[in-house]
Amino acid sequence: MSENVIVDLLKAVGLFFLNPVWLIAIGVAVGLGYFRVKKERRSFLVRLHPGLTEMKKLLTESWVPALILSLLIAGVGLTVEVSWIVLFSAIAILSMVSFFYQTASPIYFATIAFFGLYALQRFMPDFTFRGWSPGSVNLLGEMALTVAVIAGLFLIAEGFLVRRHSGVYASPFLTSTNRGLRAAAYKSKRLWLLPIVFLVPGDFLSAFTPYWPQFTLGETTFSFLPVPIIIGFSQVARASFPDVLFPKIGQAVTLLGSIVVIIGIAAFWLPILGWVALLVGFLGRVAITIFFAVRERNGGFAAAPKPAGVIIAGILPESPGEKLGLMPGECIRSVNGIQVTNEKELYDAIQVNAAHCRLQVIGRDGEVRLMQQVLYRHDHHRLGLLVVR
């Protein structure tokens, strides 16, 4: 008996890892890193982070939110139909392979899947697939509440991930200003995978794993179904720095998710409010994307060249520049007492006294700082700085 249980648990885990969402997410994450590295090398001749960073962070940054969401969804008893999960996953796959991650918010997947079921009920009422028909799903019943609340929780998780992690690995690149000068902008294109345990009515998994945990409430049997959920994010920062802009976006998304959850809970008394909650979340997420994109596009460049000094576009990890506490957007005015205005002058000045490199740096706030760092021969470019050329 115990051996059968272990075998069934392994089968269920195998079903999760063989899910096309999981497999495609791994491939897409590798592709994200590959294209990021190519773009960084095109601008600076060196990459900022290893090409597999996106793949390594696919799950390591999101497993805690995934665990909390699973406990909430399964613990509170928010049940969803398998048909909704299938549509949700199919839309997520289309979004992933498009690489257009402005559309990769789970609120979009949840809303389109929900109203997709409604469209099937309305326009294809006679459609059936292996005994399932659209009419078997009550969209003005419990689904109106549970899908809305789950979608709101996904938005809260998305806001947390964007606020906490999207700015850390933002990729700098050089672009032209309206005056024909070169300035730095920053792009964060991230993908997170959350293994979520859903509570689904019926004995869906019994055909594959007879000993998979199930329970009965009244006349209905419920199963725990592990499903990989993806959250994508893509945003360019140029009028603001990533560590300033992206936390604001994350806060806005979290607030929107809280509103969706509150409206969704109200669907307990008036089910149509679940529909309203999904539409509010969908349109609100679109508005957040457009608002911040337009503001960044219409603003100037935060990391633009100055008449005197060299602007830092990025700092290589574990380099002397990082140990000094230098930040993107700061301006190096002089090195070892020598005024510098471009990259060549910067590194020529370093050679004057490489053992004890002294910098005069103007911070983002305009304050002048004097810094000193011992440099070694193996240090990349001696300081490890990516600068605006």
Model pLDDT, residue 209: 55
Beta partners for residue 223, in sequence order: 200, 214
Higher pLDDT: 211 or 282? It is 282
Mean local confidence (pLDDT), 340-366: 83
What is the C-alpha R_g of the chain?
A: 25
State CA 187 to chain mean position distance. 12
Burial level of 207, CB count in 10 A (0-12/13-18/19+)? exposed
- Nearest residue to 155 (alpha-carbon basis) of 261, 84, 62, 34: 261
Q: Give residue 239's pLDDT band: very low, low, confident or very high (50, 70, 90).
A: very high
pLDDT at 5: 46
Question: What are the angstrom distances between the C-alpha of 376 and each of 163, 343, 356, 379, 382?
Answer: 36, 19, 10, 5, 7
Q: State the pLDDT at residue 214.
A: 63
- Amino acid 289 reads T
36 versus 223: the higher-pLDDT residue is 36
In this prediction, residues 5-13 reach a mean pLDDT of: 53
Instruction: Calculate the alpha carbon distances from 316 to 242, 271, 389 in Å.
Output: 16, 52, 17
Provide the pLDDT for residue 3.
57
- Residue 1: the pLDDT is 45
Q: What's the predicted TM-score (pTM) here?
A: 0.89
pLDDT at 99: 85
pLDDT band at 208 (very low <50, low <70, confident <90, very high): low
Question: 159-177, pLDDT tens digit by residue?
Answer: 999 999 999 899 999 998 8
In this predicted model, what pLDDT tens digit does every residue of 13-70 receive, in sequence order? 566 566 788 889 999 999 999 999 999 999 988 889 999 999 999 989 999 999 999 9
